[in-house]
Chains A and B, each alone.
Chain A
């Protein structure tokens, strides 16, 4: 996976969110939190993590996946793994 900039990353992440949570209305920004996305509960989070790991060929730790306070932190974590 080549290094991509933040806007490209958010675009790809948006597509993953839309597929995982089955909603074409999702628009991501740094401030979005789980409560803002219908279906982003604990099981939804697992589906999201697995989808993101598979898409970007990266691996998170259990500490990481339990620590993101919002989409911005999620994106920062992904960027760090892709760089």
Chain B
């Protein structure tokens, strides 16, 4: 899909990406965000807290959604203006995950689409939510 207008989208249009977050990804996110919570960076600490490994930053999960919004739904001329997300269980570093994004509402009047998304791993649903993106074809005031 390329971005050329909201009419190219229809309810139930879907995109799927699979991904795995590495320790290097975690360190880069820690550098950018300043979030040095050891739950995400220190394996022994994470184990003591009852997790089987490093817990992936929620921000990195949102970053994967950003990939879909920024490149495909709706793409480079889209403006992401709203996000709701529930984190339901942790994703661990090295675990394979899948992000499914589905168009759940198309608003031609406002040139916008609402995307529902679910992130899953072998353990079940990691996160789910909704995002609103608008195709910008004029300067906003």
Spell out A's residues near B (CB within 8 Å). Answer: 41-43, 45-47, 49-50, 53-54, 59-62, 64-65
Given A41-B141, A43-B140: A49 in contact with B110 (beta carbons within 8 A): yes
How many chain B residues touch A (CB < 8 A): the figure is 15
Task: Give the interface centre of A43, A50, A65 by most chain B CB atoms within 10 Å.
Answer: A50
The 7 closest A-B pairs by CB, nearest first: A60-B109, A46-B110, A49-B110, A42-B140, A65-B109, A62-B109, A50-B107
Given A41-B141, A42-B141, A54-B114: A47 in contact with B132 (beta carbons within 8 A): yes
Q: Chain A at the B interface: mostly helix, strand, loop or mixed?
A: helix
Please state if A50 and B105 are interface contacts (CB–CB under 8 Å): yes
Between-chain CB contacts (< 8 Å), 11 pairs:
A42-B141, A43-B81, A46-B110, A47-B81, A49-B107, A49-B109, A50-B105, A53-B107, A54-B114, A61-B109, A62-B111
Which residue of A has the minimal Cβ distance to B113?
A50
A74 to B105, CA, bound (A): 20
Please state if B141 and A59 are interface contacts (CB–CB under 8 Å): no
A64 to B129, CA, bound (A): 29
Residues in chain B near residue A61, CB distance under 8 A? 108-109
Contact residues of B between 100 and 141, Cβ < 8 Å to A: 105, 107-112, 114, 132, 134, 140-141
Q: Does chain A have a CB within 8 A of B33?
A: no
Q: Does chain A have a CB within 8 A of B82?
A: yes
Please state if B140 and A53 are interface contacts (CB–CB under 8 Å): no
